[in-house]
Structure 1
Amino acid sequence: MRFADRTDAGRQLAVAVAALDLEDPVVLALPRGGVPVAVEVARVLKAPVDLVMVRKIGLPSQPEVALGAVVDGPRPDLEVNEDIARHAGYNRLDIVKLAEPALAEIARRRGVYLAGRDPVPLAGRTAIIVDDGIATGATIRVALRSVRRQGPARLVLAVPVAPPEALAQLAPLADDVICLLQPASFMAVGAHYAVFDQVDDDKVIALLAATAG
């Protein structure tokens, strides 16, 4: 199976998600690539769309090394990579301070993408986290943990493509996992799309504005 583009993947994914007959769903997209997929799922479910934005907190001396990650929400969540933090000599308060620029950027993006709309409450509802695919699963793992803390009655992970080993690690964090394509020889998410172009801010804004209308 190969998807024509993210819209095609979203339409196919929507069929599988709809088959679960989920109660009171909210679709949560990971921007930016997850948004075109998520809006197609939301259209079929007639559900609201919101965002889950995750930003890495890099080690100051080696920014590519993740001390942790911060996730937006009614009360932003901080996930700390305890082993790396301990080895580097950072405590949680240090990392909270290092997270401030990431939180500021998340707040800026939420304002730009959603035009000031408040986050959709998730307590007691079915939360469906959607992205255009999973590679390592690190970002999705943080998103799942953060959303779970917001009290949804049911938490669903839905993606078009992911490696089986990543899904196996993520499955305990969700009540349901839907993945249309699980290639044994996984190279990259984009390899399973005919068109996998960059999703820019303008497209995200337009798609989310259309779902609010």
Structure 2
Amino acid sequence: MDGYADRAEAGRRLARPVADALGAPAQTPQLPSIVLGLPRGGVPVAAAVASALQLPLDLLLVRKLGVPEHPELAFGAIASGGVRVLNPDVLATAALDERAIAAVVEAEARELARRERIYRGAARPPPSVRGRTAVVVDDGLATGATMRAAVMALRELQAARVIAAAPVGSDEACALVAEAADALICPLVPKTFGAVGAWYADFEQTSDDDVRRALASVAQAEP
């Protein structure tokens, strides 16, 4: 497997192993499953998965905590509900003090709150995941910090089972996420990873409007 044309194609190809992990039927009255995309880039992938499997779609808001001089390098992540995950190895390498960490957390918390307002508004309350199987989807796993924060948030929200899914990931990130989730689905784990975007022919930045359109294209989960 050399990569993906775009996020939509990646989601369609991810749907089969997700279905296998869910078992049949994926949607039952006792334990209804839900697909949750990580904004922004994970939402189009999640929408394709949800559409293929005829499952409800929603989102889980998580923000990466990037090293100030190298924002693409994550030293952790935060999620709705006050969840915070830090990567001690990256923190040690970056030599960040508590003041620098707090400044990044504060900025990303403001952005998380902004996106909550933009994506949900008053008409789309957060769904309940309690007692459900939650499939949380991103477009790739570079460090794994964002996905791990998402898994931890879903644990706190009392999801019955958490499946983490991404089209591509690094060895290190997959190992980190596999420790936290009940199951990890990542079909492409290249020996030389580089960056998530390297494995997509089209990796154009996902906009807020793209997220809203993807949410509108698939059935909404019951709150």
TM-score normalised according to structure 2 size? 0.79
One of 143, 155, 158 as aligned partner of 1:148: 155
Aligned to 1:136: 143
Any idea what the Cα deviations from partners look like across 1:83-127, whole Å, max 9, x if unmatched?
969x8356xxx95x9855533432221221233311111111001
Tell me, yes or no, if the aligned pair for 2:83 and 2:152 is still in contact at 8 Å. no
Root-mean-square deviation (CA), in Å? 2.9
Any idea what the Cα deviations from partners look like across 1:40-60, whole Å, max 9, x if unmatched?
11112322222222235678x
Structure 2 residue 28 is matched with structure 1 residue 27: no
One of 29, 38, 43 as aligned partner of 2:51: 43
Q: How many angstroms does 1:196 deviate by?
A: 1.2
Tell me, yes or no, if the aligned pair for 2:87 and 2:145 is still in contact at 8 Å. no
Provide runs of 4+ in structure 1 moved above 4 Å.
56-59, 61-68, 80-85, 97-101
Aligned residues: 206
| Closer, same or farther: CA 3–148 of 1 in aligned 2, 3 Å | same
Aligned to 2:97: 88
Determine what percentage of the aligned residue pairs are the same residue. Answer: 45
Q: How many angstroms does 1:212 deviate by?
A: 4.3
Q: How many angstroms does 1:5 deviate by?
A: 0.8
In structure 1, list runs of 5 or more residues that go unmatched. Answer: none
Q: How many angstroms does 1:211 deviate by?
A: 2.0
For residues 58 and 12 of structure 1, the distance between their equivalents in structure 2, rounded to whole angstroms, comes to 29
Equivalences for residues 48-87 of structure 1 within 5 A: 48-56=56-64, 69-72=77-80, 75-79=81-85
Q: How many angstroms does 1:134 deviate by?
A: 0.8
For residues 58 and 185 of structure 1, the distance between their equivalents in structure 2, rounded to whole angstroms, comes to 22
TM-score normalised according to structure 1 size? 0.82
Aligned to 1:113: 119
Structure 2 residue 109 is matched with structure 1 residue 103: yes
Q: How many angstroms does 1:161 deviate by?
A: 0.6
Tell me, yes or no, if the aligned pair for 2:85 and 2:148 is still in contact at 8 Å. no
For residues 63 and 202 of structure 2, the distance between their equivalents in structure 1, rounded to whole angstroms, comes to 26
Equivalences for residues 185-196 of structure 1 within 5 A: 185-196=192-203
AA matched with 2:113? A
